[in-house]
Amino acid sequence: MCTTCGCAEGNLYIEGDEHNPHSAFRSAPFAPAARPTLKITGIKTPDFAPSQTTEGDLHYGHGEAGTHAPGMSQRRMLEVEIDVLDKNNRLAERNRARFAAHQQLVLNLVSSPGSGKTTLLTETLMKLKDRVPCAVIEGDQQTVNDAARIRATGTPAIQVNTGKGCHLDAQMIADAAPRLPLDDRGILFIENVGNLVCPASFDLGEKHKVAVLSVTEGEDKPLKYPHMFAAASLMLLNKVDLLPYLNFDVEKCIASAREVNPEIEIILISATSGEGMDQWLVWLEAQRCA
């Protein structure tokens, strides 16, 4: 995971930085990050071997760190991860305190790429328009496409490009949120980078993680990526209008999610047909009032 492999050290770009004379990224938000040439010799690789099943499959998640990186011991990876997450968690608590002071509901939308969360979000914003003040932080590795789609609904949005990074972190939210106009008691939607692994570990200061899973992905996804669904308060089972055309077992998917997280709430939803949208809006209002 990126708490140990360093993939978060990408070329961060937040919309507006190109106008900031102190920004290192103002001249080329899509420029490739510099990659120094390293020559490392004399490093002994710590003894580590993946566990094997009777079928010969390899499992690298059984060590202390729950993952594997060439040239690093399990203990060292664990130390690095604890250090990274500790710093992030302190920043997340500051974000949470700031949001709480303004009674703002903050939701971290997480999913794999192509789950339909941007379309679902735009439809949600249209239904909330003139009812609840909203703002959006959009996370992607590159482009400002999704932020443009959000702004087309009339909702303030800011794009955060993570470069090589595969998730948003608390510092990015601390940098982006103050640039958005959002009234007290409003809703801040954070659409994370499409990734069901790393965003599970990074607290942004949100009240809830909302996992979006589309019926085109397979009903065993919660079992394949358990950390994300364990961290989520709500699962939106999206694109249910496509169920007549797919071999997708809804009950099996729900059972898989609840095997990982017995407390998770689940809403079947479709931005195309409108199914489940009212239930989703009721859930949002309940969280605002909680």
pLDDT digits (tens, 9 = 90+) for 250-279: 999 999 999 999 999 999 999 999 999 999
Count how many domains the chain has. 1
Give a yes or no: residue 103 inside a domain. yes
Tell me the one-letter amino acid at 76: R
Give a yes or no: residue 91 inside a domain. yes
Give a yes or no: residue 11 inside a domain. no
Average pLDDT score, the chain: 83
**Contacts of residue 204, Cβ cutoff 8 Å, sequence gap at least 6:** 92, 95, 106, 108, 168, 169, 170, 173, 190
Give a yes or no: residue 66 inside a domain. no
Give a yes or no: residue 4 inside a domain. no
Closest by CA to 12, choosing from 155, 173, 133, is 173
Cβ atoms within 10 Å, residue 90: 11
Parallel, antiparallel, or unpaired: how do β-strands 157-161 and 13-14 relate? antiparallel
The one-digit pLDDT tens for each residue of the chain (290 residues) are: 565 445 555 557 777 765 433 333 222 333 333 333 333 333 334 455 555 556 667 554 565 555 655 666 766 655 656 666 789 999 999 999 999 999 999 999 999 999 999 999 999 999 999 999 999 999 999 999 999 999 999 999 999 999 888 899 999 999 999 999 999 999 999 999 999 999 999 999 999 999 999 999 999 999 999 999 999 999 999 999 999 999 999 999 999 999 999 999 999 999 999 999 999 999 999 999 98
Give a yes or no: residue 75 inside a domain. no
Token pair listed for 5: 């492999």
The domain that holds 144 is classified in CATH as 3.40.50.300
Give a yes or no: residue 6 inside a domain. no
Tell me which residue range forms the domain holding 242. Answer: 85-289
- Angle, to 10 degrees, between the axis of helix 277-289 and the axis of helix 117-128? 70
Can you give the pLDDT at residue 215? 98
pTM of the predicted structure, to 2 decimals: 0.78
Give a yes or no: residue 23 inside a domain. no
**Contacts of residue 32, Cβ cutoff 8 Å, sequence gap at least 6:** 11
In the sheet that 208-214 helps form, which strands lie side by side, from edge to edge? 13-14, 157-161, 134-140, 187-191, 105-111, 208-214, 234-238, 265-268
